[in-house]
Amino acid sequence: MTVLITSITPKGASSIFFKSGLLNARAVPTTVRLRPLVVGYHKLPLSSVRQFSVTSNQSLPREFFPENETEKVRRTPAAWPHPIYTEEQMRAVVIAHRDAKTWSDKVALIAVRVMRWGLDLATGYKHHQPMTAYQYLRRNVFLESVAGVPGMVAGMLRHLHSMRRMKRDNGWIETLLEESYNERMHLLVFLKMMEPGLFMRLMVLGAQGVMCNAMFLAYLLSPRTVHRFVGYLEEEAVITYTRQIQDLEVGRLPEWEKLQAPQIAVDYWKMPVGKRTMRDLLLYIRADESKHRETNHTLGNLDQKEDPNPYVSEYKDDKPHPSKDLAFQKPTGWERSEVI
């Protein structure tokens, strides 16, 4: 049996169907007064009865996509364990920009500005206007769904190139794939707080299709330009997350003030007890983006065919050198003369 319940609110009337005897009182806000109105009975199969949520899409926090436990499969450690960051190191991350010196740099910078305009338009991001927590999450989900593409495409092409030439790749493939893996982890974390709708999924599908093909062709033509492009793109990501952190700290995002990081984030970044808030989560993600910024600017400075990857190399002296953690930060990248 189903019963039609009409709720009267100041904005008008809305109706919900529920299975007789199965009404979940927690799904109905205490501020809504319900007036029962029986209009008839008819039998419906259980599969056809859908839950109607009266919770706003912009309500936070809410965790989506719960983990599925199985009897025979155990959860394993991450393929690439994340390096440990200290709060001092994450706080030391700054907004920075590398000047475009060559034609390759200028092409990459122009491409990033065009892409930034498209991302802003698609996600409703306005740099000089207040943003809500929901708007930030929507942008983060879309941004991270695209950000994981370049590293995967570049890693795949270098992998095929290594096999085709029957030569070693000098350590580049692992770093590129690890970068893509890290960006996907950012996406999975944000998906714990927001469930994208059909329109967002279609936008992501289209964006990935364009991005994959564009990166594939661009990396075949000029790998250096692609690395510079990603470096400039990560500069924009650092700006975006810096603004989110600032808005949270000054009280513009009350939904996030007491929000705790999802367990997937705690496990991946090994977040210490007492440092697992949304602010801490944004600090970790911004630090990752700053590392991608440095890495790609550095790779863009090297000989794409012969130079070893400095982020997986051991050096003979005790001077500061590129590393996977934040020990020695170079926002605009390491010059070739400093690492080769």
Pick out the residues of the known binding site for Fe cation.
Answer: 144, 183, 186, 234, 289, 292
Give the gyration radius of the chain's Cα atoms: 24
How far apart, in Å, are the Cα atoms of 177 and each of 18, 143, 158?
48, 18, 11
Q: Phi-psi bin for 136: left (phi > 0), alpha (psi -120 to 50), beta?
A: alpha
Full strand arrangement of the beta sheet holding 2-9: 12-19, 2-9, 33-36
Q: How far apart are CA 206 and CA 103, in angstroms?
A: 29
Annotated binding site: 144, 183, 186, 234, 289, 292
DSSP 66-126: PPPP-SS------SSPPPP--HHHHHT---------SHHHHHHHHHHHHHHHHHHHHHT--
- For the residues of 251-286, what is the DSSP string, one character each? TS-GGGSSPBPPHHHHHHHTPPTT--BHHHHHHHHH
Which residue matches tokens 């719960």? Answer: 66
Q: Are 186 and 323 in contact (CB under 8 A)?
A: no
Interstrand relation of 33-36 and 12-19 (parallel, antiparallel or unpaired): unpaired
